[in-house]
């Protein structure tokens, strides 16, 4: 009989399998045997046998799952005009969506196994490697598909990382990561129809016809004889070698 059951009178049939395994390990220690019943390696949560509620998938198909997500903040904001809108106007021109944001309060532990082998690190501190990888993903402008319990978000990019480090996070990482949605747009060109009746050449408007007006012989002779410049309309201006008087 197990020493746990003999010491406390507990019915072993009512104990979960995990507690029974620990009980057998203590029995092995009490008998001086090797603790082979103890699990080896970092602790792995039993919930990870299922699909995680929150995950990131980058444009290359790589998946990232945090050890813990303590808080998840979904923000959706609509910018609405403060000016009066005419009845019957297309309302889309006066109210538009801001980029959606998601703020995650996440945790990583050095004593906890990764969701998938080598997801955050292959050696060394997993918490430090996770923070380094988050910075690299942000600097590379990596675009993510974020899957959450409330829905999924496309074209998300890391906008802000905050990671306080103190005595309580010596072997862990506690960080707040904000993701913002990228507004994507595409431009398409449409070729002109081949059977268009409009001319392809462009004609410029003419500048008009410029023609001179002949001057009478009397005006020319008068100018030569008197040195006076004849101006149409009857005005005369005297010319001299010193200039205009």
Condensed to tens digits (0 to 9), the pLDDT of residues 10-54 reads 444 444 554 445 445 445 444 544 444 445 677 888 887 888 899
Is residue 128 scored above 90 in pLDDT?
A: yes
Please give the Cα distance from 124 to 108 (Å, whole number): 13
Q: What is the pLDDT of residues 40-89, one digit of tens each?
A: 677 888 887 888 899 999 999 999 999 999 999 999 999 999 999 888 88
CATH dotted code for 56-83+91-181: 2.40.30
pLDDT of the residue at 229: 53
User: What does the pLDDT read at residue 79?
Assistant: 92
Q: Which of 99-108, 159-168, 185-194, 229-238 has the lowest mean pLDDT?
A: 229-238
Beginning with the edge strand found earlier in the chain, give each strand of the sheet holding 172-181 in spatial order. 63-64, 55-58, 143-147, 152-162, 172-181, 101-109, 68-75
Instruction: Classify burial at 86, counting beta carbons within 10 Å of its beta carbon; exposed 0-12, middle 13-18, buried 19 or more.
Output: exposed
Sign of CA dihedral 126, 142, 51, 77: positive
| Cα 47 to Cα 218: distance, rounded to the nearest angstrom | 115
- Judging by DSSP bridges, how do beta strands 143-147 and 78-80 pair with one another? unpaired
The residues with which 231 forms a beta bridge, in sequence order, are 235
Q: How far apart are CA 223 and CA 34, in angstroms?
A: 133
Give, in order, the Cα–Cα distances in Å from 17 to each of 12, 13, 23, 26, 221. Answer: 10, 9, 10, 14, 130
User: What's this model's pTM, rounded to 2 decimal places?
Assistant: 0.60
Return the pLDDT at 111. 87
DSSP H/E element including 157: strand 152-162
* 228-231 and 172-181 strand pairing: unpaired
Give residue limits of the domains in the chain: 1-40, 56-83+91-181
The pLDDT assigned to 199 comes to: 60
Report the run of H or E that residue 78 belongs to, with start and end: strand 78-80
Please say if the pLDDT value at position 202 is more than 70. no
The pLDDT, as a whole number, for residue 29 is 41
Please write down the HEC assignment for all residues of 124-138.
Answer: CCHHHHHHHHHHHHH
Q: What is the pLDDT of residue 34?
A: 46
């Amino acid at each position: 009989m197990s020493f746990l059951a003999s010491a406390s009178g507990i019915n072993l049939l009512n104990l979960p399998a995990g507690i029974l395994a620990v009980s057998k390990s203590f029995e092995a220690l009490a008998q001086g045997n090797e603790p082979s019943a103890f699990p080896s390696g970092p602790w792995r949560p039993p919930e990870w046998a299922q699909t995680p509620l929150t995950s990131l998938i980058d444009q290359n198909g790589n998946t990232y799952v945090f050890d813990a997500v303590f808080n998840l903040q979904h923000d959706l904001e609509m910018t609405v005009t403060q000016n009066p809108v005419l009845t019957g106007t297309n309302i889309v021109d006066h109210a538009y969506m801001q980029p959606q944001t998601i703020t995650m309060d996440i945790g990583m532990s050095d004593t906890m196994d990764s969701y998938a082998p080598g997801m955050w690190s292959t050696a060394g501190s997993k918490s430090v490697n996770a923070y380094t990888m988050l910075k690299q993903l942000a600097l590379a402008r990596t675009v993510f598909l974020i899957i959450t319990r409330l829905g999924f978000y496309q074209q998300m990019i890391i906008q802000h990382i905050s990671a306080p480090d103190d005595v309580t996070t010596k072997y862990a990482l506690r960080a707040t990561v904000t993701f913002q949605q990228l507004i994507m747009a595409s431009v398409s060109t449409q070729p002109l129809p081949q059977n268009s009746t409009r001319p392809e050449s462009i004609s410029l408007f003419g500048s008009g016809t410029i023609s001179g007006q002949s001057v009478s012989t009397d005006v020319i002779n008068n100018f030569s004889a008197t040195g006076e410049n004849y101006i149409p309309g009857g005005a005369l201006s005297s010319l001299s070698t010193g200039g205009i008087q």
